[in-house]
Amino acid sequence: MVSIVIAALFVIVITLIYIYLKRAYSPSPDDLPGVKPHIVFGNLLNSGILTGKLSFHQVFLDYQRRFGDKFQFWFGSHRCFVFCGVEHAQIIFADRHTFEQAPLSFPNFDLLCPNAIVMLTGAKWKRHIRVLLPMLKRAKIIGHLETIVQCADRFIDQNLHPGQVHRDLVSSCQSFTMNVIGFIGFDHDFDAHINSPIKKAFRDFIFYSVSILLSPWLPRWLGKIYLKYNWKYQHAYRLIHELSEKLVEEEQNKESEMENKRPKNLIASLVSSLNEQANDDQVSSGLTHAEIFDEVLIMILAGYETTSTALSWFIFFASKNPQVQQKMKEELRKHHLLMTDDLKYVPELTSENLTSLTYCECVTKEVLRLAPVAGFSVRIATCDTIVDAVKIHRGQTVFIALNNINTDARYWHHADPRQFVPERFLGEDENHHSLAMIPFGGGHRACIGQELAWLELKTIIVRMMQRGITFEDTSENTGGYEDHLSCLPKKLAVRVRFD
């Protein structure tokens, strides 16, 4: 009798779960066109994203071609609206009171880094931004140009060898950007060569981060168990936590020796803000110890992943377009900035001569425009609203398809916007729509590290050309896309030649 009751209860529970899921995934009157979702996986599986067949930006480009500028995409069990026009971006980014950073920007990332600025909203976000932003403004960043140049020289000397086919440049680029953030953000040499322990720790941390991000259907308790008993993740987290504690302790020792000094870098600003009583009321300021750890983690992580991806794409695009490398060197020669023929002197890079390099600037812009480093930006509606006749309810998630806009022929006229053509910024597209190129997102939640990313990328590009490096194409250099926290070139294999 008991077994019959248990069996009946089991059937009832399964039936109720099926009915709930069926209703949750059933069409709604407010739906936009899109692909029918799978239960639990949504469109992540049938689009090819989960299997690695396609990247997010490829799927969004395909959906735009099939359904137009407004379509529906199911991120697991979350019904999301995707917008692909500059007029949509303008409305969503401008209305900071209606559209706020969405949890789906980094789904379940709070299991890994709950106090990082990318996860915060409202008063808590404002409290964190007051500490972080002053150190990441252009006026502060430009003062670190010499350090970035030194890191660029280290990258060239350690990783670029003439005559060899390089297949590990994505990892080498990550080492470069990690070293930059180490020096200018934390006054610390991470010595992040390819096989360094801290580099491996961040690589493992990112791997498990992506696993969590692409599993939005998992119950949170299951994600917690997965991370708690995953010894590789725990080992990586422990190494990163020890590094963070070391950075904070070293800075606290410096502070005790030099009272009343103004913060000179990010770690100094974080430590000077330490306030264990900090909360989200209107008068509280500063960050707690736990919050500082998460901010250290996310800043190193951002430096490790995003700019390095753009640099990897530059190397790929340059190898496919040797005439672009030649034109950059011609511009450097015109400004007397090329290495001397006897290889004994490389002219100094200053903010003034960097600014004077117009074509090099166009190349940097074209990399950021075309490379799908970030395929989309995500917002959540804080109240019911309407965007381009689409009803959006409070709590609903919207995606702004950044790469779709960056490569849309309606906004780019000089040449095919899917092609790498830096000259577009010297011609018809020089005065493009301000939102036709938004690699760092927009509005009040745009990337706060964009000034550093821009300076890093242009500096390393110019420095490599200064030193006479040429990237040559190979049969293995097929590109493709691989989604991590950002979208990397899947197969990058170039031969390096020194002029």
| Residues that constitute the known binding site | 447
Q: Of all helices (H) and strands (E), which one includes residue 491? A: strand 487-491
Count Cα neighbours of 293 within 13 Å in the Cβ-side half-sphere: 17
Helices 122-132, 289-320: inter-axial angle, 10-degree rounding = 70
Tell which residue, 284, 282, 262, 258, has the closest CA to residue 272.
Answer: 262
Phi-psi sector, 165: left (phi>0), alpha (psi -120 to 50), beta: beta
Which tokens sit at 373?
């480093």
Alpha-carbon 275 to chain mean position: 29
Please give the annotated binding residues for heme, written as ranges. 447
Handedness of CA 460, 174, 401, 90 (dihedral sign): negative
Measured distance CA(304)–CA(181) in Å, rounded = 8
Yes or no: say if 60 and 375 are a contact pair by the CB < 8 Å rule. yes
Tokens representing 344 are 């004994």
- Distances in Å between the Cα of 288 and the Cα atoms of 136, 185, 264, 294, 448 are 20, 19, 20, 10, 21
Distances (CA, A) of 409 to 264, 426, 481: 44, 17, 21
CA 26 to chain centre: 33
Two structure tokens written together for 321 = 């377009």
**330: closest CA among 455, 424, 466, 458?**
466
> Do 439 and 402 form a contact (C-beta atoms < 8 A)?
yes
Distance separating alpha carbons of residues 54 and 47, to the nearest angstrom: 7
> CA-to-CA distance for 424 and 413, rounded, in angstroms?
8
Please give the Cα distance from 464 to 119 (Å, whole number): 36
Q: Which of 208, 212, 213 is nearest to 237 (CA)?
A: 208
The β-bridge partners of 64 are none
